[in-house]
Amino acid sequence: MIIYLKKVDSTNEFSKTLIDRGYKKCVILADIQTKGKGRLGRCWISNYGGLYFSIIDEPLYIYPILIPVCIIETLKLGRIKFPNDIIVKNKKLSGVLIENYKNRAIIGVGINVYNKVDLDTAISLKDLNIHYDKVEILKNFLNIYNKYLEKFKKKEIFKFKILRKYKRYSCSLNKNVKLILPNKTVFGRVVDIDFEGITLRTKNGLEKYPTGEIVHLRDDDTSMY
Ligand code: BTN
């Protein structure tokens, strides 16, 4: 079931109200969010023209890897910056916020379609001269998402195929990065990404972190050493 709203505070927050009312699986789509939420407590500016939706579904550990793969395959463009930003021309086209609430997952997706964005850091499909219908994007996304989930539920081993795709689409693998964590910053080279997080080769050896905010560094950046 798809619930369409002209305006809402946040489709993720509205999903919580629906879960309170007993909804187990549905999609909430909004034209405008007045309090769109981003990762790490940031806000997601959600003017008219962007695609903003949340999916309520069963909680699964594969979402942080699966969802960006579905976005890339829906739009047929972009690269994934860890953990799940979609980047085009070094700017953000789409973001994902996954929350857990009362034993349900809320998968929030924002895609810049023809909304006005901060041109220094973000980009929209319109800026790329690509004209998509928002509902068409959502329909295609849901088809791809449902197909992957069906395959994964039949055979858990299918997760490795999804992971291989994630790595192929990643622009963070094999990059020198600064990983910003709540209590520290770590410099290293991204040597792997999997369902448990990101592995960096640091000056102290291999270190693995479940998530975080990364900044890509230039290859000749010496802050690594
Ligand atoms: C990020 O990159 O920081 C995540 C952005 C996620 C935005 C989407 S828009 C639909 C859903 N509702 C929200 O309030 N946030 C997510």
**pLDDT higher than 80, residue 223:** no
98-134 pLDDT tens trace: 999 999 999 999 999 999 998 789 999 999 999 889 9
110 lines ligand 1 (CB under 6 A): yes
Question: Alpha-carbon distance 180 to 203, whole Å?
Answer: 16
Helix axes 134-154, 159-169, angle to 10 degrees: 140
Question: Alpha-carbon distance 219 to 222, whole Å?
Answer: 8
50 lines ligand 1 (CB under 6 A): no
Give me the pLDDT at residue 220, please.
72
26-33/2-8 β-pairing: parallel
68 lines ligand 1 (CB under 6 A): no
15 lines ligand 1 (CB under 6 A): no
Residue 224 banded pLDDT, cuts 50, 70, 90: low
Ligand 1 atom at minimum distance from 40 CA: 3
Give me the pLDDT at residue 118, please.
85
> Do residues 86 and 80 make contact, with C-beta atoms less than 8 angstroms apart?
yes
- For residue 38, the CA-to-ligand 1 centroid distance in Å is 5
Ligand 1 atom at minimum distance from 37 CA: 14
- For residue 25, the CA-to-ligand 1 centroid distance in Å is 18
95 lines ligand 1 (CB under 6 A): yes
Q: Please, what's the largest Cα pairwise distance for the chain?
A: 54
50-64 pLDDT tens trace: 999 999 999 999 999
- For all residues of the chain together, what is the average pLDDT? 95
Give me the pLDDT at residue 222, please.
59
Please provide the DSSP assignment of 55-90 as one string. EEE---TTHHHHHHHHHHHHHT--EEETTTEEEETT
6-52 pLDDT tens trace: 999 999 999 999 999 999 999 999 999 999 999 999 999 999 999 99
130-163 pLDDT tens trace: 988 999 999 999 999 999 999 999 999 999 999 9
pTM metric for this prediction: 0.96
